[in-house]
């Protein structure tokens, strides 16, 4: 690959949303949550999605992550117009290209931090050895080298969320969607987790869309 081609790939948006609309029926009326949303995010770029509860942040994330079909518009991930794909192919794109981080970490309580991160990699087809090596690399990068063998109940809230972030990245998605990833943490812990998230996104070259109501973190 030439240097010019590599630069062009880095400059090309990885996630593109065009004219996205989402309406829900509420009794006899339609509630329009999203009205013609446009956005584009490049590799290594972090975009903050700010708004009060009920403003449509989660609806936008679910549509952009192919978890829900919007009422109208287009979603392109890594150049593919995903809403025109059949359900099975859309699921394949979501599994291969999109990582999710939620407000609640949803870690498996009986597994260690290392196992929680390695498991999705093994499900995707990696050997146990390779999956554990990648999980160890990411967790070390997240400052958890001394906590690899700890189960979620033995970790602090901030540590649990950092494990969840590593798990979302382990299969090398090109898009990371985070829905209030620090919403359950105190301000100091939130800042540490958010900083770790930003460092990982930039290091791994992921396009990240992060929903939050915390204006201080967005700044």
Mean pLDDT by 10 residues, the chain (219 residues): 47 90 84 89 90 82 92 92 91 91 88 95 91 94 92 92 92 91 78 83 89 71
CA separation for the pair 76, 81 (Å, rounded): 4
Count, residues in the chain: 219
Identify the pLDDT of residue 27: 78
Q: Which are the contacts of 48, defined by CB distance < 8 A and separation ≥ 6?
A: 210, 212, 217, 218
Under 8 Å between Cβ of 138 and 203: no
Question: pTM of the prediction?
Answer: 0.85
Q: Provide the 8-state DSSP code for 180.
A: S
Contacts of 23 (CB under 8 A, 6+ apart): 30, 31, 32, 33, 71
The alpha-carbon radius of gyration of the chain (Å, integer) is: 18
What's the CA gap between 203 and 193, in Å, rounded? 15
């Amino acid at each position: 690959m030439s240097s010019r081609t590599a630069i062009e790939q880095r400059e090309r948006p990885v996630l593109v949303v065009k004219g996205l609309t989402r309406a829900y029926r509420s009794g006899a009326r339609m509630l329009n949550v999203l009205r013609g949303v446009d956005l584009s995010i490049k590799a290594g770029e972090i975009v903050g999605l700010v708004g009060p509860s009920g403003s449509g942040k989660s609806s936008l994330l679910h549509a952009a992550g192919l978890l829900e079909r919007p009422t109208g518009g287009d979603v392109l991930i890594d150049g593919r117009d995903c809403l025109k794909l059949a359900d099975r192919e859309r699921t394949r794109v979501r599994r291969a290209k999109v990582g999710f981080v939620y407000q609640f970490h949803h870690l498996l309580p009986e597994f260690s931090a290392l196992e929680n991160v390695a498991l999705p990699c093994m499900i995707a087809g990696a050997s146990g050895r390779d999956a554990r090596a990648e999980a160890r690399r990411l967790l070390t990068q997240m400052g958890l080298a001394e906590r690899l063998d700890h189960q979620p109940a033995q970790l602090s809230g901030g540590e649990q969320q950092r494990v969840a972030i590593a798990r979302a990245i382990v299969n090398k998605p090109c898009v990371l969607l985070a829905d209030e990833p620090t919403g359950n943490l105190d301000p100091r812990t939130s800042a540490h987790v958010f900083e770790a998230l930003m460092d990982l996104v930039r290091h791994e070259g992921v396009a990240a869309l992060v929903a939050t109501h915390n204006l201080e973190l967005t700044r």
